[in-house]
Amino acid sequence: MLNNWGPGRILTAGVLASALITALVWLLGQRLHGVTLLPDQGASWYYWKLPEPTLWTRLSAWLPYAAHQLALWGLIYYAQTRVGRYTRGLHPVNVVALVVNAVFIALHMAQTQLFYDGLAQDVSIFSSQGSVILLLVVVLLMENRRRGMFFGKPAPIGARVVRFARRYHGYLFSWAAVYTFWYHPMEATSGHLIGFFYMFLLLLQGSLFLTRAHTNRRWTLTLELAVAVHGTLVAVMSGGPDGIWPMFLFGFLGVFVITQMHGVGLTRGVRWSLGLAYAFGALLVYGLRHDLSGVLAVGRIPAIEYLLVAVLAGMIWLGLAVTKRLRSPDQVHDREVEQ
């Protein structure tokens, strides 16, 4: 029956389910008000972790995280090696992936109520943020030939590098989503709820491999743009209206104007209109803050992302080159035929 569902129906059901689960996170989060936490100690400090963790609180997060991660990696490998074809609806393996994610989401809810701590107790807050940035960077690399990197013009990235990224991106994206999901306890603050809703959407996307829904351009663009919404709202909540939220809003929207909007079939006139609206909006916001020189800060996020694309492409190219030299000529020929 699910194989008869079209991409639109699948995605609509997935988004609604993600919203309902987020509402449940909020409801259960009301039971966590009595948890004692240490005072905030700055930008590198993650506030929502126990003052005195134990072996059991640590294992309660790390063991299910590892099981969740390995289960999804196994399903991705199975899909690539045993299924290998796209469908309009859902493969049985997609249904299994959705069920696996649902089970581990429920497990994380229970784990938060019983033990509270996520992975944040043992790893830096920047690792969680960096995993999502890395995900966005890989998308830029993969989509380079289709939509370009700079105003529709592709960056000089080799086809083998792009093929490698496309073939193995599922494993990286799965890690980014699952790691970030287990990094946080399932708290009910506004920032957590927005973040978990986004994570549920990424887990949904990661469950839809080899389906037309997975490659729906407007859907994937929505996932990319959701980072701008999430980053901006969290910045407003943490820093207030006078904080650095414009840097996040116009930084991520800058990537949209430079790269992302060129891959969904918009006319040239629409793209020009969006670009001018973006420039006007940035100048207006910084002008109202009496800080026009601060508008330069919006270039930081695009600059970082494009620099990381270059670094990542270089690393993949180098890895492929070294691997090719280490292989025998027959192995290299067979591999190139497969690709």
For residues 120 and 183, is the Cβ–Cβ distance under 8 A? Answer: yes
Torsional class of 124: left (φ above 0), alpha (ψ -120 to 50), beta (otherwise): beta
H/E/C letters for each residue in 132-154?
A: HHHHHHHHHHHCHHHHCCECCEC
Measured distance CA(256)–CA(227) in Å, rounded: 11
Torsional class of 313: left (φ above 0), alpha (ψ -120 to 50), beta (otherwise): alpha
Q: Is the pTM of this model over 0.85?
A: yes
Burial call 142-165: b when 16+ CB within 10 Å, e when fewer: bbbeebbbeeeeebebeeebbebb
Q: How far is CA 258 from CA 5, 54, 164, in A?
A: 34, 47, 24
Please list the pLDDT of the chain residue by residue as tens digits (339 residues): 566 789 999 999 999 999 999 999 999 999 998 899 999 887 788 999 999 999 999 999 999 999 999 999 999 999 999 998 999 999 999 999 999 999 999 999 999 999 999 999 999 989 998 999 999 999 999 999 999 999 999 999 999 999 999 999 999 999 999 999 999 999 999 999 999 999 999 999 999 999 999 999 999 999 999 999 999 998 898 888 888 999 999 999 999 999 999 999 999 999 999 999 999 999 999 999 989 988 999 999 999 999 999 999 999 999 999 988 888 665 555 555 555
